[in-house]
């Protein structure tokens, strides 16, 4: 299974950039992921559940990350979007 990774850039304060240049062994993207994991835990977001829902929505429903960002603001929104997409469409009788 091929994993798609979204790459983004962030702005950091000059002092932080200087520190990171001194501490070449520090993985800045790892620090970012660690901070995100802490925020998810603080906000009671189950990361595994979020990963599963995003994967299913993007791969199965053909949606993209921009659409998910526009149409959702929490885990419940994402679940509802996925549930609505998976509802069978009513048959029309002519």
Q: What is the pLDDT of residue 28?
A: 85
pLDDT in tens, 68-93: 989 999 999 999 988 887 766 555 55
Residue among 31, 82, 27 nearest 54 (CA): 82
- Kindly report the length of the chain: 94
Asked if 57 contacts 79 with a C-beta cutoff of 8 angstroms, the reply is: no
Confidence of residue 1 (pLDDT cuts 50, 70, 90): very low
Asked if 90 contacts 80 with a C-beta cutoff of 8 angstroms, the reply is: no
pLDDT in tens, 19-63: 988 988 888 888 888 999 999 999 999 999 999 999 988 888 788
pTM: 0.69
List of residues 6+ apart from 94 with CB closer than 8 A: none
């Amino acid at each position: 299974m091929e994993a798609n990774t979204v790459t983004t850039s962030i702005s950091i304060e000059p002092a932080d950039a200087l520190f990171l240049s001194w501490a070449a062994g520090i993985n800045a993207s790892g620090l970012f992921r660690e901070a995100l994991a802490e925020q998810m835990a603080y906000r009671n977001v189950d990361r595994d559940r979020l990963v599963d829902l995003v994967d299913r929505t993007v791969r199965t429903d053909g949606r993209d990350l921009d659409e998910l960002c526009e149409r959702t603001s929490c885990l419940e929104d994402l679940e509802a979007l996925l549930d609505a997409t998976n509802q069978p469409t009513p048959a029309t009788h002519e």
